[in-house]
Structure 1
């Protein structure tokens, strides 16, 4: 049974794609939120402050002692910044050390995607870095929660935002768990402050479709539109994760090609976008009364979503 308990939550990355709805929901729940930022002169930061957040300006977040001073009295440290190699291997270990020094009770690293804990070593560069960080968290003795959201609608449902055609990958019959960014923010805000989730993974599992089901719905919803389709086979993806280079070629991409194909391998070949291990709690079981703001079926019927108008 979920029992609300007001906590002090420090957020790094509050203005990002995941951080913004997560911070808004933490504030709406009534938690005391400290927004850590290098630059307080930011429109989103100002909006959070208007909602009651305490803005903590830290010019050098790579200084563990300084961060520890700013984290005094915090119950939960949430890292909602994109999980680049630099963040995971350099910044988060410093923030972890600072949290331990400050007596923070729970550390929530940047995850919010594929289920790293269920992925094997060597399956993807990005996940190996995260697994190394996890071991540091466990060794530190601090409490932890890992949030696995599955995919975000913008990236995992067929649309024309990032490709000129509808692109499918690997095994198109694998279950793909995806959620609207607002639902990710709301559910993550509940989970990172829930006593039941301490030292557990939380898997969002409200929505699931296969790629074949997604494409079928696109064809049904827009029968007069001549979409172009492109498919990358499991064999291609498996080879690319080992042979691709370290440039960033994807439209609106942040990962190198090698990192991106490693992510595609994990999600579409191995099928670990979502996983349900012994240490994993299902969001549908934790919050059975939660109603999603948008289903994937609704998104796939929305022309503005499909065509990014």
Structure 2
């Protein structure tokens, strides 16, 4: 079986983890980097056993040679339209030109398929790329993982430890999907080496509501938490529009309003993953929200 995998975006946080997991599984890994890529990250990838391919122009001709003979191209590119749409199109065209049979796009998000377009900028970019991807003569597999669980102790204003509150909008019993980057990386590496993957795969290390998070946070910290509901999703949508007007942040990948859009879509209900593919690759130990909070 061909186990050569090409990874674009390998110097990023998730990309580096995917390369690590691929190498652990015995894959031959080529990573696509630019001359401006972080030198320390590139050196680490090379020391781990990956073959570094420096792309000077990022055009179809150059990328085709780097992709030739691969079983799958995994994109973990991160950015706005110039990256998620424009650069990924070039990468996809190169994969097709090189005869690569499979492509995993840089989605790694909540399932935006049931959501209407025009309400989440970063998800809309992925949706736009999908219209191009789905017409390409290559088998594609999108991996939906909800939000990265690391956000529970990071930038997501959900667990407010300083005031012992769980912040939510709308329905306190609406479940949200969370998966750690390590779990995403392990699953993605397995999917990249699996020639039978379907168009979409859904995974979640945990599915937990705001009400359940009250219990989880209380158990982990030994302190009493309670719910904090500023309002419904309609009010949140209004606040998103205000934030976008006051601080557009058009060139920022994650301005404040983008995080607010993501939280609204997680609490909307339509993006909740009803069935999971967690058991597709046995042996993965899924990290729960409780595990993440306890490890802080």
TM-score after normalising by structure 1 = 0.81
2:284 aligns with 290
* Deviations 1:50-95, CA, capped at 9 Å, x for gaps: 222110011222x222222222222211111225333122211121
2: CA distance, partners of 1:172 / 1:284: 25
* Deviations 1:163-194, CA, capped at 9 Å, x for gaps: 57555232331122212221111111111221
- The answer as to 2:47 corresponding to 1:53 is no
4+ residue stretches of structure 1 with deviation over 3 A? 159-167, 223-233, 240-244, 246-249, 256-261, 273-276
1: CA distance, partners of 2:229 / 2:154: 12
Instruction: After TM superposition, list the pairs within 5 Å mapping 1:8-23 onto structure 2.
Output: 8-23=4-19
**Closer, same or farther in 2 for the Cα pair 1:215/1:83, shift >3 Å?**
farther
2:77 aligns with 81
1:96 aligns with 92
Tell me, which stretches of 5 or more residues in structure 1 are unaligned? 277-281
- TM-superposed deviation, 1:195: 2.1
1:221 aligns with 220
Tell me, which stretches of 5 or more residues in structure 2 are unaligned? none
Give the number of aligned pairs.
Answer: 286
- TM-superposed deviation, 1:241: 4.3
Whether the 8 Å CA contact 1:115–1:273 is kept in 2: the answer is: yes
**Closer, same or farther in 2 for the Cα pair 1:186/1:248, shift >3 Å?**
farther
* Deviations 1:283-307, CA, capped at 9 Å, x for gaps: 2231244323x332222233xx1xx
1:7 aligns with 3
- TM-superposed deviation, 1:229: 5.6
**Closer, same or farther in 2 for the Cα pair 1:99/1:300, shift >3 Å?**
same
TM-score after normalising by structure 2 = 0.84
2:183 aligns with 183
- The answer as to 2:199 corresponding to 1:200 is yes
Q: Secondary structure at the match of 2:268?
A: helix
**Closer, same or farther in 2 for the Cα pair 1:269/1:28, shift >3 Å?**
same
**Closer, same or farther in 2 for the Cα pair 1:207/1:167, shift >3 Å?**
closer
CA RMSD of aligned residues (A): 2.8
2: CA distance, partners of 1:226 / 1:262: 25
